[in-house]
Amino acid sequence: MAKAITIDERRVRRLNERDDGPGPVIYWMSRDQRVRHNWALLYACQKANRLGQPLEVLFTLAPAFLGAPMRHYDFMFRGLREVEGNLRELGVRLTVIYGEPGETLPEYAAKWNAGALVADFSPLKLVRGWKQAVASLLSCALYEVDAHNIVPCWLASPKQEYAARTIRPKLNALRGDFLTDFPEPELRYQPDTLPPPMKWDEMESLLQTDRSIKAVPGIEPGEAAAIARLRSFVDGRLSRYADERNDPNSGAVSGLSPYLHFGQLSAQHAALEAVRSSAAEANREAFVEELFIRRELSENYCYYNGRYDSFDGIPEWAKKTLMEHADDRRDALYTPEQFERAQTHDPLWNAAQTELLETGIIHGYMRMYWAKKILEWSATPAAAFDIALMLNDRYALDGRDPNGYVGVAWSIGGVHDRPWVERQVFGKIRYMNSNGCKRKFDVPRYIAEMTGSSQASLF
Ligand code: FO1
């Protein structure tokens, strides 16, 4: 018998006051779309074993998740097909139901007389709304498990943090308790037979999504590809990470963000692999700083600031300084369509936008330059904020994620940053320009890589 599953109870919280009942346990999978290294699945296994009940997994397919185009649903569906296969090996069925979870889930749980329902954690308003709707309508207990963060978001801090320097000591104080290995899922009461697999093509045809934004070629979705990508990063590029992570030509970045966004990879597992690698301490800690401190700071921002997706959510000092400069003359002004089509006067900015359009990933350092130039060349700061978010969510495979919301809010709204020397348009928001990029990396090479040599020569 495999050793019993032990889970730190601080990772779990109840979302209603009902008790467990005599029926199957359902893991309502949403954020963490993977079988391995998944605390929500592990908790649901533990609950099922303790209740003497079978476990099943449910995914509620929203018709249009925050406007996600086909590029994202394609990545997600291919990952879910793999999850279905991995669950079948545990004797667990995956059911996908279509429609708004607030309506479909209570009905499904009642129909199958669910004994308990376990959800994973997301700080996003839409998903929190789903859970609030479901919690009161369910006739069984509803639990929420933070399977996305190393330190549970609600435990790390009771409030919105100002910057990495304020949350870092709180996260590090709990790192020893939570940056741990995972037990393996094991189940004792599964049925002998499973229903046939889901009809995925039918599901995909139901989607009301923008099919013109197609899947990104060359990136393989799913748990196995995520682990392979992590392995190649830790064995290779991690050893150059500290020095080269801000150089978009170096390829030193992990490229893990789409897998982390869809939960096809556990950040905790990735951090453990990095910490245990043979790379130099500076590289290991630089990666953990991004993956643990910065990422969980973003979760904190979205969890405690309901206006994380709007200009209104930024700090008062930033709003004030930007509004004082709202009437400054802009050197250039572009419409959302001109930005979307990479039609500005700046070859470097166009290269970053082209990278986003074609690869669905924009390099972390370039995303800052890219967003700050949208601020500089938009009619108002609020318009810039919305344009940057719209483009990021439409094209970035890790769009609609706390990291993306905070990336834009940091670049344009000074979130988690501080006031700098005041200047035109930016006010006291940190300024970046192409000279700064030229000091960091080979700009003509990046432009040539992204847009062909055409525009590189202009630089
Ligand atoms: N989560 C769901 O539970 N159901 C969906 O249909 C769904 C679609 C979806 C599309 C694009 C995307 O970027 C995320 C999507 N997610 C969906 C949510 C995702 O897995 C995370 O839970 C959220 O991004 C919250 O962080």
Assess whether 350 and 438 both reside in one domain.
yes
What CATH number should be reported for the domain holding residue 320?
A: 1.10.579.10
Kind plus residue range of the DSSP H or E element containing 268: helix 267-275
Q: Which residues contact 33 (CB under 8 A, 6 or more apart)?
A: 59, 76, 79, 80, 83, 262, 263, 264
Q: What is the pLDDT of residue 455?
A: 59
Q: Return the half-sphere exposure (C-beta side, CA atoms, 13 A cut-off) of residue 270.
A: 30
Domain boundary among 132, 148, 164: 148
Which of 157, 154, 150 is CA-nearest to residue 176? Answer: 150
Q: Is the Cβ atom of 68 under 6 angstroms away from ligand 1?
A: yes
Retrieve residue 56's tokens: 């099943």
Assess whether 24 and 59 both reside in one domain.
yes
Mean pLDDT of the chain: 95
Q: What is the pLDDT of residue 458?
A: 58
Q: Is the Cβ atom of 127 under 6 angstroms away from ligand 1?
A: yes
Retrieve residue 450's tokens: 């992204």
Assess whether 137 and 153 both reside in one domain.
no
Kind plus residue range of the DSSP H or E element containing 79: helix 70-88
Assess whether 262 and 348 both reside in one domain.
no
Assess whether 236 and 378 both reside in one domain.
no
Split at pLDDT 50, 70, 90, the class of 456 is low
Instruction: Identify whether 29 is part of a domain.
Output: yes
Assess whether 331 and 396 both reside in one domain.
yes
Task: Supply φ then ψ for residue 415, to 5 degrees.
Answer: -65, 135
Assess whether 14 and 120 both reside in one domain.
yes
What CATH number should be reported for the domain holding residue 95?
A: 3.40.50.620
Q: Is the Cβ atom of 351 under 6 angstroms away from ligand 1?
A: no
Domain coverage including residue 22 = 1-148
Split at pLDDT 50, 70, 90, the class of 140 is very high
Q: Return the half-sphere exposure (C-beta side, CA atoms, 13 A cut-off) of residue 112.
A: 19
Instruction: Identify whether 212 is part of a domain.
Output: no
Pair type for strands 55-61 and 25-28: parallel
Q: What is the pLDDT of residues 389-438, one digit of tens each?
A: 999 999 999 999 999 999 999 999 999 999 999 999 999 999 999 999 99
What CATH number should be reported for the domain holding residue 251?
A: 1.25.40.80
Q: Is the Cβ atom of 124 under 6 angstroms away from ligand 1?
A: yes
Assess whether 427 and 299 both reside in one domain.
no
Assess whether 279 and 389 both reside in one domain.
no
| Three-state secondary-structure class, residue 60 | strand
Query: Quick one: average pLDDT of 214-240?
Result: 95
Domain boundary among 304, 321, 336: 304
Q: Are the CB atoms for 378 and 411 separated by under 8 Å? A: no
Q: What is the pLDDT of residue 2?
A: 55
Rounded to the nearest 10°, the torsion over CA 164, 166, 170, 175 is: 20
Domain boundary among 89, 123, 148: 148
Residues 415, 237: Cα–Cα separation, whole Å = 29
Instruction: Identify whether 10 is part of a domain.
Output: yes
From ligand 1's centre to the CA of 78, what distance in Å? 14
From ligand 1's centre to the CA of 365, what distance in Å? 25
Query: Quick one: average pLDDT of 338-361?
Result: 96
Assess whether 98 and 49 both reside in one domain.
yes
Instruction: Identify whether 188 is part of a domain.
Output: no
- Taking the CA of residue 126 as reference, the ligand 1 atom at the shortest distance is 25
Instruction: Identify whether 101 is part of a domain.
Output: yes
Which of 311, 310, 348, 363 is CA-nearest to residue 445? Answer: 348
Assess whether 140 and 232 both reside in one domain.
no
Ligand 1, from 66, 76, 117, 392: best to mutate by most atoms within 8 Å of Cβ?
76
- CA distance between the termini of the chain: 65
Instruction: Identify whether 197 is part of a domain.
Output: no
Q: What is the DSSP string of 146-162?
A: --SSSS-HHHH-SS--S
Residues 438, 424: Cα–Cα separation, whole Å = 22
Q: Is the Cβ atom of 74 under 6 angstroms away from ligand 1?
A: no
Residues 439, 390: Cα–Cα separation, whole Å = 30
| Long-range pairs of 445-448 with CB within 8 A, sequence gap ≥ 24 | 445/249, 446/248, 446/249, 446/348, 446/351, 446/366, 447/347, 447/348, 447/350, 447/351
Assess whether 77 and 169 both reside in one domain.
no
pLDDT above 70 (res 44)? yes
Q: Which residues contact 76 (CB under 8 A, 6 or more apart)?
A: 33, 221, 262
Instruction: Identify whether 56 is part of a domain.
Output: yes
The DSSP bridge partners found for residue 26 are: 56, 117
From ligand 1's centre to the CA of 30, what distance in Å? 6
Min mean pLDDT across 69-73, 174-178, 250-254, 299-303 is at: 250-254
Q: Are the CB atoms for 117 and 26 separated by under 8 Å? A: yes
| Three-state secondary-structure class, residue 434 | helix
Tell me how many domains the chain contains.
3
The DSSP bridge partners found for residue 78 are: none
Q: Is the Cβ atom of 353 under 6 angstroms away from ligand 1?
A: no
Instruction: Identify whether 207 is part of a domain.
Output: no
Retrieve residue 176's tokens: 């020893």
